[in-house]
Structure 1
C-alpha cells in the first residue's frame, strides 16, 4: 500500500501544527515499521533544501508555497501527483485543496482521509471572498472525503450539526515538548516565576484580554509572540511594552529555550478562542502547569473541563487572584494526566494509521 501525506510545508516540521503532526506521523511510521510506503509532499518554495527522504518517508516537492493564496493550487497539484503516482491512501491536512476533491474522486479510486483543521472560515481575519472559499472548501472536504478527522469534539459537533456527517476525533500529540531538557536555557532578564502565554498575536487569541488583566494585577508575565507582524500586535506592544512586569518576547523556536520557558512557568494563560485543539495547549499540559484558558468549547473539551476559564479581563483577574497553591497543584496534575492519556504521539500515530489501514 502507498500512502500520500499532503497539505503541509513539509518535514521535518519547522512551521506550525500540521508540520509537527506530519513529522511525528513519519516518525511513528518509522518507529513501528508500518508496511505501507509513505510519501510526503513538500513545498519547493518554502524549503531551502530538497532531500529525497526523511526517516522512513519519501519526499516530493511542488514548486509553490504551502500557505496563503498559493495553498489552493499547491494542495490541488499535490493531490493530482499523488493519484497519478498510484497512491491508494491520501491523508490531506487542511481544506485548502478540497475543491479539487470532486474531480479527484472521478479520476481515481484512492481513498481520501481529510483533517479539516479548525472551522477556518469563522476566524476573524477572513472576510468576503476568502471566507466564502474557505466555507466551500470545508463543505467539499466533508462531502467528498471518504473519512473526515476533527481534532476536537467541538469541531465534530459542528460537522454533524451542519453536514449530518460523523467525524473521527483525533487530536495532536504534545509530548515532544518535553524533549531537549538537557539543552534548556531561558532568555536572560526574566523573573524566577511568571505566568506564561505563547501564541500568534491575533485578536481571536485574546492577547488584549490577557495583557489588560495582568497589567492590572502587576503579576509577572512572559508573553511570546509575533508582535511586529500586524497593527494589532504593534499597538499592544506600544501600549504594554514598557511595563516592568510584562516581558513581551519575539517568537522562540529553539527547542531548548522553549523547554526552559515552559518549565519555569507557574501558570499558563491560553487565550485561543477558535481553531479546535490547539497544539501549544496540549504541549503545555505535559509540563503539569495549571492552565487558565478562554472558556470556548474547544478548550473545555481539550482540558476535559478541569482547567479554569475566562472570557474577560475581569474574569481572568479573578481566576488568578483565587488560584491558591493547592488548587494550582491539582489543576497542573490534572493537565498532565490528561496529556499523558490523550496527547502522546504514540496514541495519535496509532489512531491515524489504523484509520488509513481500514478506510
Structure 2
C-alpha cells in the first residue's frame, strides 16, 4: 500500500472517542506487508496536545491549529483534506466523519487521491443538534457518499440506509472491543447492573434511571454527568436513590475492566448512531446485554440480546434478569466480529 493519510479525529495518542480508538488500533502492530514504515500520516488537533511529537507508533503526525470538534471541525477537516490530497498528494485518504466533506468535489477535481469515508452514525439525526446544523450535516453526508471512492458504515442498519437513500453500497466495518480486556476475566457477579455512556437524552439515560428506581437491583451508571444541563439535572434527581450509584466518567481501561468484569448484566440505552464502541467492548466480557430496541443495536447484537422500548419493559427485564442469559451469545459475536485484528484487516484491504 502507498501513502495513507487518516483525517477527521482529534488525533493520537487516542483521546476518549470511538474514531480516536479506531486510529490508535489501526496503528498497532502493523506489519511491513500491510503498510511500509512511516507511510501513514495522522492529522491531529494541536489544540488537544501540549506535546506534539512528529511520530507515533508507525505513523507521521501533522497538526492543524483548530479544534477537531464543534464548529471548528469543518475547517479542521477541510484544511486536513487539502493538505493531504493536494499539497502532500497522498495516495489514499481515510476520512472519519463528514464534517469537512463539502470540499470533496474540489479535492476530486484537483487530485487523484483515493478517498474512503466512514460516514459515522448518521450524525444529522442526533437530537442534540439544531435544525440548521442537521441540514448541514445531512448535506455533508450526501456529498461524502457521492464523491468518496468507497463508503464505510459501521453498522448494517447504516449500510442499508445508504443504499436506500443514495443507491450506493457501503462496506460494513464495525469497531473492535477486545482492547477493553486488560487482563484475564475471572467470571464474577457482585450483584450490580452497569450502564456506561455519554449523558445525552438520545442514550435514554432517564429511562434507565427511572426503571432502576422502581427496582431493588443496584446500578452503577458511569458518564459525564457534569458536562451538560441535562446531565446535572439527571444527577440531582437520581443520585440519592439508594440503589443507584452515579459515577463520574472513567477513562482508564484497567479501572473500567474491574467494574465491567464484576457486573451482573449491562444496560445499553443508545438509540442513535451505529455500532457503539461501549457495546462491542462490553460484549467481550461474557455478560448479558439488555439493549434499547432499535435497528442499530439489533444489528450489532444479531437480534439475540434482550431489548426494551420503554420504562415498563426495562423494569420487567431488570426484575427477571436472573432468568435472562445471552452472555455466551454476546461473547461469540464479539470474538467473531469485533476484534481489532479483524477490523484492521478490513480497513487495510480497502487500500491494497
TM-score (norm 1): 0.94
Post-superposition Cα deviations, 1:258-286, rounded to whole Å, max 9, x if no partner, equal 11110111100000000000000000000
Q: Does 1:24 align with 2:25?
A: yes
Q: Does 1:91 align with 2:94?
A: yes
| More displaced 10-residue stretch of structure 1: 65-74 or 126-135 | 126-135
Question: Equivalent residue for 2:303?
Answer: 305
Name which of 48, 51, 63 aligns with 1:49.
Answer: 51
Q: 2:107, 2:68 → 1: CA distance? A: 19
Contact preservation (8 Å) 1:28, 1:346: no
Q: Find the residue that maps to 1:27 and give its secondary structure.
A: coil
Question: Equivalent residue for 2:168?
Answer: 165
Q: Find the residue that maps to 1:80 and give its secondary structure.
A: helix
Alignment of 1:129-278 (within 5 A): 129-179=132-182, 192-278=190-276
Contact preservation (8 Å) 1:30, 1:55: no
Question: Equivalent residue for 1:9?
Answer: 10
Q: 2:20, 2:293 → 1: CA distance? A: 27
Post-superposition Cα deviations, 1:83-126, rounded to whole Å, max 9, x if no partner, equal 11120100000001100101000010000000000011010011
Contact preservation (8 Å) 1:181, 1:260: no
Contact preservation (8 Å) 1:147, 1:167: yes
Q: 1:260, 1:323 → 2: CA distance? A: 21
Q: 1:214, 1:158 → 2: CA distance? A: 34
Question: Equivalent residue for 2:349?
Answer: 354
Question: Equivalent residue for 1:68?
Answer: 70
Q: Find the residue that maps to 1:204 and give its secondary structure.
A: helix
**Shift in Å, 1:356:** 1.4
Q: 1:138, 1:306 → 2: CA distance? A: 31
Unaligned runs of 5+ in 2: none
Q: 1:206, 1:78 → 2: CA distance? A: 35
Q: 2:292, 2:191 → 1: CA distance? A: 22
Question: Equivalent residue for 1:338?
Answer: 333
Unaligned runs of 5+ in 1: 185-190
**Shift in Å, 1:8:** 0.5
Question: Equivalent residue for 1:114?
Answer: 117
Q: 1:31, 1:246 → 2: CA distance? A: 50
Contact preservation (8 Å) 2:190, 2:264: no
Q: Does 1:279 align with 2:277?
A: yes
Q: Find the residue that maps to 1:291 and give its secondary structure.
A: strand
Contact preservation (8 Å) 1:180, 1:255: no
Report the count of equivalent residues: 347
Which stretches of structure 1, 4 residues or more, deviate above 3 A after TM superposition?
30-33
Question: Equivalent residue for 1:292?
Answer: 290
Q: CA RMSD in A?
A: 1.6
